[in-house]
A and B are shown apart, each in its own frame.
Chain A
Amino acid sequence: MKAAFSKAELEAEIASRFGDAFRIHEKAAVETLSSGVAEIDALTGGLPRGAITEIFGPASSGRTSLMYSLLTYATGHEETCALVDTNDVFAPTAAIAAGMNFDRLLWVRCGGNLEHAFKAADLLLHAGGFGLVMLDLGDVPGKEARQIISSWWYRFRRTVEDRPTVLTVISEEACTRSCAALALELNGAAEWSRVSVKRGIGNLLRHNAIRVNRQRPVTRRVSEGRYSAMALSV
């Protein structure tokens, strides 16, 4: 008669052959990088390292302002940063006003070539050691962005997984699908404060509405908030 085996006995037999197959792997706590905007940090807890963060919204919704804040904070804290500029729209004269440290910023201008932008981002992620890699697809039309094949995003997600790098994607519409650990949807609206017509004083007051969608490795949660910032013309 065939002897009956208990589950524990079977597991013990298999575990001796396959090692830690039955051990539950606890993921380490997610390290984050501050966005440089206190309101966004309060909503999100910072941008997760080793994951993709997507910032999307229509033109003039505050994506680039948030990008400046991120880069300013990261370069100011001695992180090595890279900006993959798909459409060559980065304005150094405006960025320097935000206090960005250009010595720690690698700017890659792709001249509108989407394929080059993705290849450049891939090279930067594989090089390792970058604290923040920013892929700016802000001027890529939504239709074109949606057509980006998913394998690119899965590849990026897999590449940054074990690295202390924050990969941030800026786009007009959500395009990373399920690969982004954190998605920030911006719906900002600008108001004209008319405090002064003189330039540099601040004649634009921005109210940024933000919707935060968090997935793995951060706890899944959706929250909404608003923040305001005095916007300075440059």
Chain B
Amino acid sequence: MFACIYVSKLPAALSLTDFAYGFSPVVEEVRAGTAVIDVDGCELLFGSAYQLANEIAQRARKSQTEGGLETTASVAVAANPDAAIHAATHLKGITFVSPGDELTCLGDFPVERLDYSLAGVEKKVATEILETLILWGVRTFADFAALPVAGVSERLGQTGIKLQQLAAGKTERHLHIKQPDPVFSNSLELEHAISELEPLSFVFGRLLHQLCAALNAHALATNELRVTLQLENQTTHERKLSLPHPMRDHKVFLKLLLLDAEMHPPQAAVTAVSITCEPVKPRVLQSGLFVPLAPAPDKLELTLARLAKLVGEENIGSPALLDTHRPDAFSMKRFTLQTEPDRRRRRKKQLGIRARQCLGFRRFRPPLRAIVEAHQGCPTQISAWSKQRSVYGRVVDLAGPWRTTGDWWRDDGWARDEWDVMLERVGQQTLYRVYREIKTENWFVEGNYD
């Protein structure tokens, strides 16, 4: 059985669908002010179908604070949803249409009131058929239902048959169930504040499991997790976890969150946890037979998070050169997997072009401060020490100087003379790059050629 609730004037702030959810989880929103619910299985809660209709009408009259609509609703109960819609729309109060007796209730309705949209018939076609029916002298639903089916089919086609079944209240269809908007946010208030990470991991695990189940149910994934922790000292600890690719594996999320929490622990005990994610379409990737193996995205994210915990976030990533001539100017960018093959490089590979032989350079960070003996401005003896390395020896050959300057208008400008030197120490020759700062006239060893 189906019950239709019809409200002619619905207050703007109220939702008829939300009201209908109070009686059944299976709700179809036909249009604004009209909703149909499936009442099968509601007997234990509300009694018979008539009692349910009575309950709906009574509750609709109640105020908003009491869960009502503050208006009078027409309620009709019928064996099929379309008959219930017609009855509720055109008859006030509570109407009960017995199964098989639809025409007793709907038979006197004029055919102009036939809601053709319920049968999926276009307005132009429906208007044409209804005009034809009036020309034939068919005035009511009962008259239309009484026409022979074969004749209607011959003259009006399948559309005419659909409309005739609609008038007779004998249509069969499923409800177009309105799904409540999915919420991808979970929160939990804790009875006792948590100050350690291990018990917090169970809370994270539970919330993430529910969140990923919701994502899975809607065939979605996420590339951003936002965690908000309410702390005991009345402050909030917020963390945002951005992922390069959409994922929905709660185990991976849990490990990432725990690693992040270890790196950025909250300042006080946690009293409430809230996790929100941004739903996006999952990543669909077609792997090729000839594409080189690459780390699995979720494993790579975990590895990067563990590496970040080990050596610091600023020390992992891909190097990116900066648009400047400043020595050793680079930045670290987030390492992401390249899914699209670089066509230019592939063409280069196909052509068999080999990499250019280039002199390797090992840069000392920071440069070693050096004591240099010079003859006519050229270094002849170099000594430099630090905790990790020492550079000293006699200069047996050199090239230079090459002067580089830049950013002279800024405080951090540089100006220096560079030399490539070969040092000899215990019969072993090593190549270094040394430079002299023009401003301070201090010597430094920048690195060695290898």
Apart from A58-B428, A94-B363, 13 more pairs, CB < 8 Å? A59-B362, A60-B431, A63-B450, A76-B348, A76-B349, A89-B362, A102-B319, A104-B338, A108-B307, A108-B311, A110-B315, A138-B450, A139-B362
Cβ of A32 under 8 Å from chain B: no
A171 to chain B, nearest CB (A): 12
With A60-B430, A230-B357, A232-B359 already in contact, the answer to whether A119 and B345 are too (CB < 8 A) is no
Q: How far is the CA of A128 from the CA of B341 in the complex (A)?
A: 20
Residues of A within 8 A of B358 (CB): 65, 68, 94, 97-99, 231-232, 234
Q: How far is the CA of A233 from the CA of B398 in the complex (A)?
A: 13
Cβ of B150 under 8 Å from chain A: no
Chain B residues proximal to chain A, CB less than 8 Å = 291-296, 299-300, 302-304, 306-307, 310-311, 315-321, 327-330, 332, 335, 337-338, 341-342, 345-346, 348-349, 354-365, 388-389, 397, 399, 402, 420, 422, 428-431, 447-450
Question: Which 9 pairs of residues, A with B, have the shortest CB-CB distance?
Answer: A64-B360, A129-B295, A231-B359, A64-B450, A72-B355, A98-B358, A65-B360, A229-B357, A127-B303
With A77-B349, A78-B345, A197-B399 already in contact, the answer to whether A89 and B365 are too (CB < 8 A) is yes
Residues of A within 8 A of B389 (CB): 139
With A94-B358, A102-B318 already in contact, the answer to whether A78 and B429 are too (CB < 8 A) is no
Residues of A within 8 A of B330 (CB): 92-93
Contact A80 B365 (CB under 8 A): no
Residues of B within 8 A of A99 (CB): 355-356, 358
18 A-B pairs with CB atoms under 8 Å apart are A36-B354, A59-B362, A65-B357, A76-B345, A89-B363, A89-B365, A93-B321, A94-B361, A98-B358, A120-B311, A129-B294, A190-B431, A192-B422, A199-B402, A230-B357, A231-B358, A232-B359, A234-B359
Residues of B within 8 A of A108 (CB): 307, 311, 315-316
Number of interface residues of A (CB under 8 A): 76
Q: How far is the CA of A199 from the CA of B400 in the complex (A)?
A: 9
Cβ of A204 under 8 Å from chain B: yes
Q: How far is the CA of A208 from the CA of B212 in the complex (A)?
A: 56
Residues of A within 8 A of B447 (CB): 89, 91
Contact B320 A102 (CB under 8 A): yes
Contact B355 A69 (CB under 8 A): yes
Cβ of A30 under 8 Å from chain B: no
Q: How far is the CA of A72 from the CA of B328 in the complex (A)?
A: 19
Contact B307 A64 (CB under 8 A): no
Residues of A within 8 A of B420 (CB): 203-204, 233
Q: How far is the CA of A92 from the CA of B311 in the complex (A)?
A: 19
Residues of B within 8 A of A67 (CB): 360
Chain B, residue nearest A128 (CB): B295
Contact A129 B296 (CB under 8 A): yes
With A106-B317, A107-B317, A116-B311 already in contact, the answer to whether A90 and B363 are too (CB < 8 A) is yes
Residues of B within 8 A of A91 (CB): 328, 361-363, 447
Contact A65 B295 (CB under 8 A): no
Q: How far is the CA of A92 from the CA of B362 in the complex (A)?
A: 10
Contact A190 B360 (CB under 8 A): no
Cβ of A209 under 8 Å from chain B: no
Residues of A within 8 A of B355 (CB): 36, 68-69, 72-73, 76, 98-99
Chain B, residue nearest A73 (CB): B355
Q: How far is the CA of A87 from the CA of B292 in the complex (A)?
A: 30
Which of the listed residues B327, B330, B341, B430 has the most CB atoms from chain A within 10 Å of its own CB?
B330
Q: How far is the CA of A112 from the CA of B311 in the complex (A)?
A: 11
Residues of A within 8 A of B422 (CB): 190, 192
Chain A residues proximal to chain B, CB less than 8 Å = 36-38, 58-69, 72-73, 76-80, 87-99, 101-113, 116, 119-120, 123-124, 126-131, 138-139, 164, 189-190, 192, 197, 199, 203-204, 206, 229-234
Contact B354 A190 (CB under 8 A): no
A147 to chain B, nearest CB (A): 16
Residues of B within 8 A of A109 (CB): 311, 315-316
Contact B295 A130 (CB under 8 A): yes
B279 to chain A, nearest CB (A): 27
Q: How far is the CA of A103 from the CA of B389 in the complex (A)?
A: 31
Q: How far is the CA of A119 from the CA of B345 in the complex (A)?
A: 32
A96 to chain B, nearest CB (A): 6
Residues of B within 8 A of A96 (CB): 321
* Contact among A60, A69, A88 for B449, CB-based, below 8 A: A60
Contact B397 A192 (CB under 8 A): yes
Q: How far is the CA of A65 from the CA of B448 in the complex (A)?
A: 12
Q: How far is the CA of A91 from the CA of B356 in the complex (A)?
A: 16
Contact A129 B299 (CB under 8 A): yes
Q: How far is the CA of A20 from the CA of B229 in the complex (A)?
A: 57
Contact B318 A106 (CB under 8 A): yes
Contact B429 A101 (CB under 8 A): no
Which of the listed residues A94, A119, A126 has the most CB atoms from chain B within 10 Å of its own CB?
A94
Q: How far is the CA of A130 from the CA of B337 in the complex (A)?
A: 11
Q: How far is the CA of A234 from the CA of B360 in the complex (A)?
A: 9
* Contact among B316, B357, B402 for A37, CB-based, below 8 A: B357
B209 to chain A, nearest CB (A): 24
Chain B, residue nearest A165 (CB): B293
